[in-house]
Chain A
Amino acid sequence: MLSMQNFGDNGKMKDYHYTGPVEHRFSPYAFNGGTVLAVAGEDFAIVASDTRLSEGYSIHSRDSPKCYKLTDTTVIGCSGFHGDCLTLTKIIDARLKMYKHSNNKTMTSGAIAAMLSTILYSRRFFPYYVYNIIGGLDEEGKGAVYSFDPVGSYQRDTYKAGGSASAMLQPLLDNQIGFKNMEGVQHVPLTKDKAVQLVKDVFISAAERDVYTGDALRICIITKEGINEQTLPLRKD
């Protein structure tokens, strides 16, 4: 595993300058790339992620989706450091089981979000390097999206993009779903089919411009009937 010293803030390689002898410390973090996106509608929620697992200039896997199913109504998308993503999802699964056994009911999306916030904060001084987005249906059956930062600050949103291409995707979503920065446009509520098409278009754009996003797109559509998964190929270069 290459040391983080070679990389800049979000995993992109720094220019090579000779500055004299440099001490290379072992860094427990690595950046594995990937983008996650979630959109909440009136009675549905969509969580989508690309499936590329990269590190530096290499690709470890082209089939490593970043959405994990938690319950019948909740899916979580985790991007960042893959090791922490795996551990975090294992811990969440274990806590879901414990809750189910003590309280005899499944955790709701809001409850999972609050629990994840405390799990992340318990590692405040050695954080999980994971950007999480939870998508699901709340108790009333409406779509809900909860977005997190690596140390547990969260809030409920209508849409959110996280991961390496988040800075490119978030403004596009603000414009198309939030109707921001547009004048004289009618605010049409988002239908499920239009949302799925938008997510596909958005990821195709992201794969064009972000090197860490590509290979394939996994979409999980959550409705009261259940979770429907679709896979769509993206650029492989």
Chain B
Amino acid sequence: MALQDICNFQDIFVDSSTTECPSALLGKKTGCNYVSALPFQNSTSLFNFRIPLAEYLDESPTQFGQISTSQDHSTALLQESTISCFPLPLSPPPAASSQAVPLPFPMSHGTTTLAFAFQGGVLAAADTRSSCSGLVACPASQKILPIHSHLVSTTSGTSADCALWKRILSRELRLYQLRHRRQLSTGGAAKLLSHMLHPFKGTKLCVAATLCGWDGGEVDGGHGTGGAQADLGGCMKTCGPRLFYVCSDGTRLQGTLFSVGSGSPYAYSILDQGVKWGLTVDEATSIAREAVYRATHRDAYSGNNVDIYHITSTGWTRRNREDLKEEYYREKERKERKMRLDMA
């Protein structure tokens, strides 16, 4: 098919270790050959992610920096540089072998993100501070990344990892949609992400994402959303708001309320008190804002602004980014007014 030719993708049922792939990859001089991406050759799962390998990348990312004790290291490199898609021999997990190179710089970490489902859809909120062990690397970063029209992902952990894995997930979901002519469900997307992160378990990769989406019923109109009252029992199982938490250590959980990050304990306290299924959209927005605001107040690594996304059957909408600095002044004014009233 045309798309597969352009992207150099094999059929997912063909085993990646057949010899036809080297010539196919080297023979095609399309622009896609020079896309640098992570290799997944050592995955034997059903989803065979054939990603074209850049010529200069001749080691798997999990093997970089490992002090190799094998004698045939140089010959292995030679082989790999000529046949760029040759599947790498299954290596022992990096944590078990020699130590990784100690990094001279810290990664960006620290955040407050939260998401919950209610009768009006799913609400996702996050702060916007990216800190780097004491320095605010970016006061206006985006921690909620839209994946497609009905799926949004909140990210926590190392920002580079989260940005890249979100891109990979968007691409895989789009390819799934083109191949199977239907949208993958939120649970399916969560499973996909979890399986993609599994080979990197034990390495320093740190991704903790909440996938918030709306399943089914968006195009069909009356079936899923309109006559939902009578059909609620059967419909709830296949369509409606969905929330999944995926972590790079392998966790994959479904739920109705999640908060992730260094400020999550503070956010949980506000959310546990106020979140109910029957909230209106405005009430839910104000609870989410309040939770992020309180968390940023107490957690040093969260702050700056708050982003709120609302996902319904018609897709996601984004509220204007709001600076929490103003909220502190408003709160102070409210307290002063209250004190004056109490004293009067």
CA distance A9 to B109 in the complex (A): 17
For A149, list chain B residues within 8 Å (CB): 107-108, 132, 137, 159-160
Tell me if A95 and B160 are in contact (CB < 8 A): no
Residues on A with beta carbons closer than 8 Å to the beta carbon of B101: 27-29, 126
Task: Indicate whether B61 reaches chain A with its CB closer than 8 angstroms.
Answer: yes
A10 / chain B contacts, CB cutoff of 8 Å: 104-105
**Count of chain A residues near B, Cβ 8 A:** 37
Contact residues in A for B34 (Cβ distance below 8 Å): 95, 98-99, 102
Q: If A103-B31, A149-B132, A152-B160 touch, does A122 touch B106 (CB 8 Å cutoff)?
A: no
Instruction: Tally inter-chain residue pairs, CB-CB below 8 A.
Output: 98
Q: Which residues of chain B are near A28, meaning CB under 8 Å?
A: 101
Q: Are B65 and A125 in contact (CB-based, < 8 A)?
A: yes
Q: A102-128: which residues lie under 8 A (CB-CB) from chain B?
A: 102-103, 115, 117-127
Asked if B14 is at the interface of the complex by the 8 Å CB criterion, the answer is no
**A129-B104, A149-B107, A149-B108 as given contacts; A124 in contact with B160, CB under 8 Å:** yes
Nearest A-chain residue to B99, judged by Cβ: A25
B94 at the A/B interface (Cβ < 8 Å)? yes
Chain A stretch 5-62: residues in CB contact (< 8 A) with chain B: 9-11, 25, 27-29, 31
Query: Are B159 and A118 touching (Cβ within 8 A)?
Result: no
Interface of A is mostly: loop
B78 at interface (Cβ–Cβ under 8 A)?
no
Is A125's CB under 8 angstroms from B105's CB?
no
CB distance from A34 to the nearest CB of B (A): 14
Q: Which DSSP category, helix, strand, loop or mixed, fits chain B's interface?
A: loop
B102, A155: Cβ atoms under 8 Å? no
Contacts known (A118-B36, A119-B36, A126-B64); A151 close to B158, Cβ less than 8 A? yes
Nearest chain A CB to B80's CB is how many angstroms away?
14
Q: Is A2 in contact with chain B by the CB < 8 A criterion?
A: no
Which residues of B are found within 8 Å of A155, using beta-carbon distances? 138, 141-142
Contact B203 A125 (CB under 8 A): yes
Q: Which residues of A contact B138 (CB under 8 A)?
A: 147, 155
Set B29, B103, B205: member contacting A102, Cβ < 8 A: B29
Q: Which residues of B contact A (CB under 8 A)?
A: 29-31, 34-38, 54, 56-57, 61-65, 94, 100-108, 130, 132-133, 135, 137-138, 141-142, 158-164, 203-205
Q: List 18 A-B contacts (CB under 8 A).
A: A9-B105, A29-B101, A31-B104, A91-B56, A98-B34, A99-B34, A102-B30, A102-B31, A115-B36, A117-B164, A118-B36, A124-B205, A125-B64, A125-B204, A126-B65, A153-B158, A155-B138, A167-B135
**Closest A-B pairs by Cβ, 10 of them:** A126-B65, A126-B64, A153-B160, A151-B160, A153-B159, A125-B64, A152-B160, A102-B31, A118-B36, A29-B104
Given contacts A115-B36, A125-B61, A155-B138, 18 further A-B contacts (CB under 8 A): A10-B105, A25-B102, A27-B104, A29-B103, A31-B104, A91-B56, A95-B34, A99-B34, A102-B34, A121-B160, A124-B61, A125-B62, A125-B65, A125-B204, A127-B103, A149-B137, A152-B163, A153-B108
A interface, CB within 8 angstroms of B: 4, 9-11, 25, 27-29, 31, 91, 95, 98-99, 102-103, 115, 117-127, 129, 147, 149-155, 167
